Amino acid sequence: MLLSGGDRTPDACAEIQEDLKGYELLNPMQREAVFCTEGPVLVLAGAGSGKTRVLTHRIAYLIEKKQVNPWNILAITFTNKAAGEMRERVDRQVEAGASSVWVSTFHSACVRILRRHIDFLGYETNFTIYDTDDQKTVMKQVYKAMNVNSKLYKEREVAGYISGAKNELITPSEYMRLAAGDAREQMVARIYEEYQKFLKKNNALDFDDLIMKTVELFRTQPEVLDYYQERFRYIMVDEYQDTNKAQFELVRLLASKYRNLCVVGDDDQSIYKFRGADIGNILNFEESFPGARVIKLEQNYRSTQNILDAANFVIRNNKGRKDKTLWTANGKGDPIVYRQFDQAYEEAEFIIRDILAKGCPFEECAVLYRTNAQSRMLEEQCISYNVPYRLVGGVNFYQRKEIKDILAYLKTISNGRDDLAVSRVVNVPKRGIGAASIGKVTVFASANDYSMYEAMCRAKVIPGLGKAADKIGKFTDLIEEFRIRMKEKDYTLHQLIRDILDETGYREELEQEGEVEAESRLENIDELINKAVSYWSGAKAPSLEEFLEEVALVADVDRLDPTEKRITLMTLHSAKGLEFENVYLSGLEDGLFPNYMTIYSDDPGDLEEERRLCYVGITRARKKLTITAARMRMIKGETRYSRVSRFVEEIPEELLKASRLEPRLSFKKMEAAANPYASGTGAGSTYSGNSFAKVTPPPQPAFGKTFTVQKAKNLDYQEGDRVTHIKFGAGTVEHIKDGPKDYEVTVNFDKSGVKKMFASFAKLERIQ
């Protein structure tokens, strides 16, 4: 019985009043989502609109008012935590029979089904489920059996392809058919086939198999499918925007008989494409399930109207979405604060100082950023101001594996007596120096009172090392070469780190992985290089030893009392589903957020996903939202200039309280150094004092000013010449690249290091 419609009889009105008992606290649209129980229903639940309340009340309504048997209800969500929370709320809401309702994740539901019926597919019901480590072991054995070159076909990369294929319900034979004419893809198909044979032989499934095999079971065994269609006459799916093709097909098959399917989700919060999520599942729901009713939950119970208006204005620029507008009864609230800084470290310092100045409880403060590497400056500022913090979805910057690896190299170069550092990197990346060889070195070192490194320098006299002695010798030769370079006058710490990455093969090994995780590790190493550049240019007498000491002091966060309440530092992806009173969105610059890959992607959906990520970030805030950006940010050890993010420009000026710190450089000088091609689409912005004014010209260069680029016929300097720059001072021209619109000049400045810039804006003058 719905709350909308035509004229009603007295009996119908009485029935409505009976239905309302216990549901009076729901708003009208929530009640409609609860009471609309028959047929396919899409509940578009905007951020903070109370979707979990709707789901639990809907289950209660089905049992208590519609007399549906609890065991005929299936509620699916994505994580064990979400399933546990829903289970608790259902138990509280439903007086009797709640335990018979299936509340589970996709994977756990499929395990229960396969435990009973997988014998139809030729497996035994006591199958083993392989985790990620088990998968790695299987891949190694498959590679060995097939004699696959792991340098050409990285195990983790191929495992990712196989996982993606299973999420798309592509079998090994179908993969081979699709790979026709592509030798590399055909090899992946053969590995996929052997991998599946190995699993079958061992009566094992990986996590992707759990859903794929259940779909296969339903497709090939109609009587099994019919049993579960009868069992689950009412199906509810949470976070529907995050489903992939296999999950969609599983739900479609189960719901195809009675069609009582209710999915709840928000297309504007679909941010997991890289995990296989298909936003088309929610956008095309009405086509997949004809006659579906669409109910929008637009009332937000979390944020102020100013915050919601900002989110609405940003997300409406996406074309691939369902139209909805968030609103709240919470009041207008404070304007959104926007601060732009000259330098990224000023941005980080401001955020931590502002948290202290506001006096907001630490646990109600969150700083969100696009990439893990951005946490480094924030962590250092937290420690500098003695502000307790926690990292969500990550570890302390200096505790990340790749950072500890590079620091271990630096420690070995600085002090060969650090056995822990030497042991960490002697076979990183892999040099064929096994544990047995390390053990022999350790015994020799102990017997002769040597450090580990000193013993390695004498590898040729260590009994039983054999060929490993030469491999260890190459490692120590490399360390000694780095030590010699560090004694050179003009050799810098950041040059040393780059040389370590290149000459040890560490960078190459990460690049060959070709995965998102590997890219993140390289970004973190680039951030360490940024740290090294900043230290080297700012220290009075820079040295490797002093740098390691400074890092050690910053990295020592164990002294923080674990019982203290802390601010939260996290990536935007990690923030989904959370909320805080006081939120900071940092690094809102074109090229960083959105990142360059999405800006220049051939697929417009990539940029739209970045915008959805921004929407998620904005809607995490309850009362206060601060957006920050930096004009200059060090990336890969080089200073780069960026314009404000297009997402900021999509927020109307009346919602913003915009200001900036007094710049260290005049705006005119900033123009001269800016990259004219660092522009995006959409409105630009100009700044005057503390005001923020919107302009709507064609695509703008950095900082919203319009420049006319006039390429010089020739330059009055050439490679090798000494030149001077208005900010960076004197330097030597290393390279000049003749581009279509301007000359790109690379200059090694005496104090600021190597920088790339365009000649028309750099205004370099030759030193006579």
Residues contacting residue 738 through CB under 8 Å, at least 6 positions apart: none
Residue 52 among the catalytic residues: yes
- DSSP code for 681: S
State how beta strands 656-660 and 684-688 pair.
Answer: unpaired
Residues facing residue 265 across a β-bridge: 44
Q: The tokens of 28 are what?
A: 């009208």
| Active-site annotation holds for 51 | yes
DSSP string, 118-164: GGGGT--TTPEEE-HHHHHHHHHHHHHHHT--TTTS-HHHHHHHHHH
Number of helical H runs and strand E runs in the chain: 32, 23
Omega cis (within 30) before 562? no
What's the chain's Rg over C-alpha atoms?
Answer: 30
CA pair distance 174, 761, nearest whole angstrom? 54
Q: Which residues pair with 366 in a beta bridge?
A: 568, 583
The DSSP result for 373-392, as a single string, is GGHHHHHHHHHHTT--EEEE
* Catalytic residue list contains 686: no
Residues in the chain: 768
The alpha-helical segments, DSSP class H, found in 415-467 are: 419-425, 435-448, 452-456
Hey, what are 759's tokens?
């000649």
Q: Is 590 one of the catalytic residues?
A: no
Q: Which residues pair with 128 in a beta bridge?
A: 204
**How many CB atoms lie under 10 A from the CB of residue 24?**
7
The type of residue at 391 is L
Catalytic residue among 65, 376, 620, 633: 620
Tokens of 26: 């729901």
* Active-site residue identified among 37, 214, 269, 343: 269
Catalytic residue among 239, 278, 608, 649: 239
Nearest to 704 by CA among 683, 677, 685, 726: 685
722 close to 675: Cβ distance less than 8 angstroms: no
Identity of residue 408: A
Q: Answer yes or no: 238 catalytic.
A: yes
Rounded Cα distance, 91 and 100, in Å: 10
Q: Which of 238, 346, 402, 638 is catalytic?
A: 238
**CA–CA separation, 679 and 243 (whole Å):** 34
Catalytic residue among 15, 52, 512, 579: 52
Tokens (6 digits) for 332: 């207008």
Q: Is 718 a catalytic residue?
A: no
Residues designated catalytic: 51-52, 238-239, 269, 620
